[in-house]
A and B are shown apart, each in its own frame.
Chain A
């Protein structure tokens, strides 16, 4: 007898990635030989590699996760649903380091390897995680002409007002990071965007093996063999970045995580974090990351913003602010410009340019938002409200397919 395990309701290898949010899965008998009844009792359990991820199971949409699950599966090939989620605190370090095994009695009848893919603190990545991330990023940048050029262009002057100094700042950047992360995962599915905790020392980030070490002139240097040595933006190789703080320490000015989380329980006060810590994290450096229109030229930008998004996610959990329909979850104002109200689609993914709407930029780089083989949200042309319930806490279909190592759902 053989069974097939479908992770995220798919048999595709690129769909075998889960987060802390229970993923819908299915099991079916593909070869009933040896079966004597119309159903068979199949026990599923997970085996983790050393330092690998851990998962739990449940049969329905609610309830606690268990380490194993017994399912009654028809032998005629009909699928039976179940759910699998990463165990909080035990993310994977590489692809396929957790295996789900299906057994009938003691006989192994099917298995599937998967990964608990979670965004982690960049300072604590394993060398393998770090190297896979920078290799995928360098490939995305390829000659400065790869897909990364779109991400650089999205954050330039023309798109500034679509993403900044207004309520949509956090949702826009959540979509922006997810778009980039999905493009990185198309190159290497084991990659998740790491975050730079700018309120803690991150000596492992500012090294020649990772995001580079700045010399006195602000030129960032890489070890030969670090793929980021080939980083090019707007035709010029390299990165300019001058930290105003010793990189063995945290920058002194951005507010700490606890202060950020205490900015208030309403989104309209919490979004003040756009100035501090976000803005002050940017201006803790000289170089391209210091200015809104050039910040995205530096790969560090994406790790900085991943931390901004993590802080929002943490604040959302602390205050239960996942429901876009609740006034405290967003700062909805009738006077907000297009792109900053809950029902507005966001540029550039909506493709709307100035001929159709004078408030939008003249071009829309990059096209629609990248899709995921694991989840359907937030869609090709996300609206502001599609980027609030990121773990699907209110609506399971809103799950955007990412999570943070220190943010429970």
Chain B
């Protein structure tokens, strides 16, 4: 009995190995094919068309361009095909299937659509990949960006860990973006915004996050940045925009030090593209 079971298990392993070999062959061939010209994109008009396109999408024997074109057609069908909801479960199942495909572009797109539909399967796959890079379907920065479609406590803890020890700067930026929905992260964003050693792109993002999480704090920090002669022009332009767009006009009109700082910013060696923010601000107060 045991021997028979072992024999079956061996056969299963052999079958799996053969399947893996076949898949690996396909991976190579599809990668080669991906350089071919774009396939024409057709528009689905009915749920039958959708079913046909789903088969093309999942067919690993087809050229990747043909499968990507099918995905684009399916996306358009989601906007316009009557009764699309009757095939949406099949659509989601197909997207899950191709989310582990050998082609990264297809994984990116399918996981993107799934995450925008707040799909639990995709969310788990992406979180698992961030915790264990060997399992990752996408680079960490893309996974974090997609997780931002359905941010929650589980994703926040992973994002916090990545901010502390980022695998690359893009991943840190996307982790910060994800945390912008987390109220507890407001003090961290305040720190990032004021840190002159931080990447300016991250400081710009911190201003946006703080505007969302604690707008009063952003206004306070923006005022400080504008009055700080040693801070950078681009961050000052961001701060000015925050004040001009969302601040208390009456209060600013009485702030002589602010007006002086902005006038100085406008007349100094500031690049022209940022001076525009100063001019827009000053024109509000007839300065």
Contact = CB atoms under 8 A, between A and B. Distances in A.
A344 interface: no
Interface in A222-241: 223-227, 229-232, 234-238, 240
Contacts of A165: 79-84
A166 B82 CA distance: 7
Interface stretch (B125-133, B204-212, B249-257): B204-212
Contacts of A283: 41, 72-73, 75-76
Contact of B212 (A235, A253, A288, A294): A235
A275 B274 CA distance: 42
A298 to B, nearest CB: 12
B136 interface: no
A139 B241 CA distance: 11
B56 interface: no
A143 B211 contact: yes
The interface centre, meaning the residue of A131, A227, A278 with most chain B CB atoms within 10 A of its CB, is A227
A374 to B, nearest CB: 26
Contact of A217 (B45, B142, B205, B240): B142
B202 to A, nearest CB: 12
B197 interface: no
A291 B117 contact: yes
Contacts of A138: 245
Contacts of A279: 43, 75-80
A294 B146 CA distance: 13
A286 B276 CA distance: 32
Given A236-B151, A280-B41, A291-B117, A230 B211 contact: yes
A291 B110 CA distance: 11
Contacts of B245: 135, 138-139, 142, 227, 230
Interface string A301-323: 00000000000000000000000
A275 B237 contact: no
Contacts of A272: 45
A353 to B, nearest CB: 19
A235 B180 contact: yes
B287 interface: no
B75 A291 contact: yes
Nearest to B278: A225
The interface centre, meaning the residue of A164, A275, A294 with most chain B CB atoms within 10 A of its CB, is A275
Interface of A: 131, 135, 138-139, 142-144, 161, 164-166, 169, 209, 217-219, 221, 223-227, 229-232, 234-238, 240, 244, 252-253, 272, 274-276, 278-280, 282-284, 286-288, 290-294
21 contacts: A131-B280, A142-B245, A143-B246, A165-B81, A165-B82, A218-B145, A224-B200, A224-B241, A225-B234, A227-B245, A229-B241, A232-B212, A235-B212, A237-B211, A275-B81, A280-B72, A283-B41, A286-B109, A291-B75, A291-B116, A293-B117
5 pairs of A and B residues whose beta carbons are closest in the complex:
A279-B76, A225-B237, A283-B75, A235-B181, A225-B277
